[in-house]
Structure 1
């Protein structure tokens, strides 16, 4: 390893994990000594990481309030960036909040981070065509039972116990902080991007079984079977209504039949 490369590796280690560079690799002057110069770089690096994280997690910033800077500092200290693109540094924030004290005592924080990250990831996902009503015209009547409705590849279904979507919506619209509400039973949020804008909404209880089945790649017949437990003989009309809704929302990215 040449001297320049060695110096770069040492400086990166000092930024990422606080390692001390080898003696003589840094030099001071009459304005700042070696330690002060290194501290400036370390402080600037952490500020840049916090700024990038704040951009990716606006809902979390609104929910955490004055504790948001400390939350980010704790995460940066525990999880140095390992990716060349700073955009991906927040990938582990939701897991960190769910399992690290004192943040794990507030489960809404991890749920909010999970929603923020799903929205950000959907925004950055590759563009994908969506299925329209006209695309169904070529499906033969006897093929519907085995037809599979594949949602967009980046679509995410999130399970939570709080109204974190209200905080993200308020952050997006520049509105005041809403009141935190905790559900008696867990609810689900769907996140997807049909075109340029990311959409997110709560999933109705009656929709959830079919949506889970679609995300798992189950056939149209199996989706109807899932709905029959709740709707009985009305399962097929209900599934048809859900299909129309999903197509209108731009949620379905591909139709598939056996062998395709």
Structure 2
């Protein structure tokens, strides 16, 4: 290893681990001594990690308010980045909040929604089907037909109104009051064209869409609705859901 490479590796380790031991290649002067010069890089690196998180977790910062910097700094201090690309650094933030802030489960839920929105935006482009394509399916083929949701589609369960905080962050409006639900609510996140969308689902839609994601055939989806609503109402509901999914670009194809 060349002398330059050795110095670069020593500097890298000193910045990543916040070692305070002196490096002979760092010299002090009348303005700052060697440890102070090293501390500038150590501190600057962590600020950049925190700023990267703030740009990805808008809803979480809205929810926490003035304490968001301290919350993100705690993650940075205990989670050195394993990625060369800073884009993925926030992948573990929700899990970190699960384990360290069990008294406030809304924080992890908020982080999951933020991350789902962020990763949906970066997902690979896929085509979406339209009603014309559905019209070509023969009646006898529907029972075994599988609906193929977009790969970027994500279903989240939440016990608080996390979507309201994210919406406030997106629109720059006043932070809402925290509301806790008696029963979990479900949120759908997906991207259509260049825009990421998120909305709440009722239990019917969540159950059927999750089953479609899992590869269940169309007959099984209809049976789920029939169990909940009765056969007559189930077909009408299924048609409404299918039209809504196609119109929103949620489906990338069909498979028999």
- With normalisation by structure 2, the TM-score equals 0.96
Aligned to 2:217: 219
**Mapped pair 1:49 → 2:52:** no
Aligned to 1:253: 252
Aligned to 1:90: 90
SS at match of 1:193: strand
SS at match of 2:186: strand
CA contact (8 A) 1:151 1:253 kept: yes
Aligned to 2:142: 144
Could you tell me how far apart the structure 2 residues matched to 1:40 and 1:4 are? 21
Could you tell me how far apart the structure 2 residues matched to 1:250 and 1:200 are? 13
Aligned to 1:5: 5
Could you tell me how far apart the structure 2 residues matched to 1:38 and 1:117 are? 33
CA offsets per residue over residues 13-63 of structure 1, 9 Å max, x none?
222222356741322222211101100001111111111110001110010
Which structure 1 segments of 5+ residues have no match? none
Could you tell me how far apart the structure 1 residues matched to 2:236 and 2:126 are? 28
CA contact (8 A) 1:157 1:190 kept: yes
**Mapped pair 1:174 → 2:172:** yes
**Mapped pair 1:236 → 2:231:** no
Aligned to 2:30: 30
- Cα RMSD for the two superposed structures: 1.3
Q: CA 1:125 to 1:53, structure 2 compared with 1: closer, same or farther past 3 Å?
A: same
Superposed counterparts of 1:134-213, under 5 Å = 134-213=132-211
CA offsets per residue over residues 121-141 of structure 1, 9 Å max, x none?
111112211111111122121
1:149: Cα distance to partner?
0.7
**Structure 1 outlier segments of 4+, above 3 Å:** 19-23
Could you tell me how far apart the structure 2 residues matched to 1:22 and 1:39 are? 11
Aligned length: 255
- With normalisation by structure 1, the TM-score equals 0.94
Superposed counterparts of 1:113-152, under 5 Å = 113-152=111-150
